[in-house]
Amino acid sequence: MSEHNLFLNISLVWTLVAFLILLVSWRLANFGNRQRHRQLMIFLTLAAWIFIAVYLWQSQRPQPLVGIKEEYILWLVFHGVIGLIALLGATALVFARLWQEKHAESDLYLNRHHKVYGRVFISLWLFTHIGGVINYILFI
């Protein structure tokens, strides 16, 4: 298997696994299982940053593993912007919650509105992973 295909296949597996974990984590939050929801969201947020770092690293190589096709540029910008909004938002939610665990007296805006923002960011994040499947089909 070429490096190009290997990279795309690994990305596809990750996007499907992360999609499922996101759904499970949302369900857990719904059922009030705060501890598991917390662990999964921290794991997913860290893993998503690692995924972006690997993606940027490969795009800087003299021979990128995935070359950008110009005809898909608008879609890729849209996909990337939505994904970054979701990830920056999730990172802010994680930090706000961790801050509150250390400083019980804190009353952060993001924590008071965690549910609303969480629903928005998880929805955007799920959409981003659907985009990951579309990218696989476009670039394989």
**Binds ligand HEM by CB under 6 A, chosen from 8, 18, 29, 65:** 29
Instruction: Give yes or no for residue 41 binding ligand HEM (CB under 6 A).
Output: yes
Instruction: Give yes or no for residue 98 binding ligand HEM (CB under 6 A).
Output: yes
Instruction: Give yes or no for residue 85 binding ligand HEM (CB under 6 A).
Output: no
3-state secondary structure the chain: CCHHHHHHHHHHHHHHHHHHHHHHHHHHHHCCCHHHHHHHHHHHHHHHHHHHHHHHHHHHCCCCCCCCCHHHHHHHHHHHHHHHHHHHHHHHHHHHHHHHHHCCCCCCHHHHCHHHHHHHHHHHHHHHHHHHHHHHHHHC
- Of 5, 14, 94, nearest to 50 by C-alpha is 14
Instruction: Pick the piece of the chain touching ligand HEM (CB under 6 A) from 48-56, 75-83, 111-119, 126-134.
Output: 111-119
Instruction: Give yes or no for residue 82 binding ligand HEM (CB under 6 A).
Output: no
Instruction: Give yes or no for residue 83 binding ligand HEM (CB under 6 A).
Output: no
Instruction: Give yes or no for residue 26 binding ligand HEM (CB under 6 A).
Output: yes
* Interface positions, 54-73, toward ligand HEM (CB under 6 A): none
Instruction: Give yes or no for residue 93 binding ligand HEM (CB under 6 A).
Output: yes
Binding site for ligand HEM (CB under 6 A): 26, 29-30, 34, 37-38, 41-42, 45, 90, 93-94, 97-98, 114-115, 118-119, 121-122
